[in-house]
Amino acid sequence: MVVHEPAVSRCPAHGASSDLVDPWLYSEGDPHAIWRELRERDQLTWHQVDADRGFWSVVRFRDTDFVLRNPESFTSERGTMLEILGMDDPAGGQQLAVTDPPRHTVIQARLKKALAVKAVDQQRETIQELVLDLLQPLGDGGVVDFGQVMLAMPMSVTGTMMGLPRPDWPWLSRLTTICIAADDPEYQDAGGKQAPKQK
């Protein structure tokens, strides 16, 4: 839910240095200190994103638990990313992170089954081979971009566990990164959000 109201654009607990929508806070600042102080001072805090948009945040367990257990009043299906704040998320109701119960529960149960310890044990050798393949250049005395290896590794594991076609893994990894790093120029397609969707 987007609420429009005149409010400070910075967190009242810390002033100008504690803007929760500033990505530098999470790479160079100390968000944990801010959240700790918010828990001590506030139950509910308004954060202004720009002139037209903002959001409320809850930081105490009791309040967060209440929000998460009441999807009728607090939906995830309109999106959970600042990039699309105030708009409907195109993945709403389809992707786990932006789906409310009861569908969320059904999807989560399937994923839990696919990624259960017993299921992982059955694929252990395959996963080990995939990891070794990613690191093979090191064994040959070559140079490896460790960042790229780490970017590919999660999909190597989940792709195996979920039976996703291996040729699709790089594409799926890129889509995942685009979703969580929408402002990173390295992961923006030509035309941005208006670019034609293609595989």
Task: Please determine, for residue 12, whether its predicted confidence score (pLDDT) is greater than 70.
Answer: no
Tokens representing 69 are 């257990």
The mean pLDDT of the chain is 81
pLDDT digits (tens, 9 = 90+) for 17-44: 468 888 788 888 899 998 888 888 877 8
User: Where exactly are the structural domains of the chain?
Assistant: 1-69, 115-194
Distance (Å, whole) CA 47 – CA 111: 33
What does the pLDDT look like over 66-93, one tens digit per residue?
999 999 999 999 888 887 888 888 888 8
Backbone angles phi, psi at 59, to 5 degrees: -125, -10
Alpha helices in 84-145 (DSSP H): 103-114, 117-122, 124-139
| pLDDT number for residue 18 | 61
Distance, in Å, from the CA atom of 122 to the CA atom of 20, rounded to the nearest integer, reads: 42
Mean pLDDT of 44-54: 87
Phi, psi angle pair for 70, to nearest 5°: -130, 70
The pLDDT assigned to 11 comes to 40
